[in-house]
Amino acid sequence: MTPIASYLDLANHHANSTHSDIKKVCLLTLKHKFNSVFVNPYYVSFAHQLLNNQAKIGTVVSFPLGQDTLDIKLAATKHALTAGADELDISLNVGLLKQAKWDQALDEMKALVSTIKEKSQTKIAKFILETGHLTDSEITKTSQLILESEADFIKTNSGMGPRGAIIKDVEVIKQAIGNQIKIKVAGGIHTYNQAIAFIKAGASRIGTSRAVQIVNQSNSSVSG
């Protein structure tokens, strides 16, 4: 089986994060070989200098509310890419989704994906649904739009919404778009057993602040 660490994005999105905290998660990412370290935009440049291309850096855009204007989202995206971000998790404007303003939502997504891919085709674009605010039919429609936008991932939750990821989220997304796009889950995933359940359901990536604990539980499971 693929090592669990390769599925994990170690995240620190705390409002009180310090340079010392960010250095710690960067070093842990190197130690455990996580897929990437995720930090707030302010710390992308610092993490890039620390890691020196030894690990991927992720950050967030319009997080967690998603209701910045498009020009602000585009500016933030460009700044993050210039600072050294490899992966961008972008919060969608859920208000557009709730009002069924599908064309406006899609236009916004396409503009953001285009900006990211113009920088480099290897940069990863993810859009955050915030499934706790959406009905199953809204999740289905939005997933189809994200696929159409040519983003790399659908991300279920910010971890700061009304709830975290649940298995049903992945099932609804998979039913909507099959295996045509990857799925990242986040919010409340603290244990190895939870992580494995999401991977079995179809998740390709897990965002969590508890990545070290998950890996340690994985090692205990193997040794046991």
Positions annotated as catalytic residues are 89, 155, 184
What are the backbone dihedrals phi and psi of residue 178, each rounded to the nearest 5 degrees, phi first?
A: 60, -135
d(CA 37, CA 164): 19
Ranges of beta strands (E only) in the chain are 8-12, 36-39, 56-61, 87-91, 124-128, 153-155, 182-186, 205-208
**Close Cβ partners of 215 (under 8 Å, ≥ 6 residues apart):** 4, 5, 8, 32, 192
Nearest to 179 by CA among 204, 211, 155, 149: 204
Residue 90 CA: distances (Å) to CA of 19, 20, 119, 180? 23, 25, 16, 19
d(CA 221, CA 216): 9
What are the backbone dihedrals phi and psi of residue 10, each rounded to the nearest 5 degrees, phi first?
A: -80, 120
CB 126 within 8 A of CB 87: yes
Both tokens of 62, joined, read 């319009």
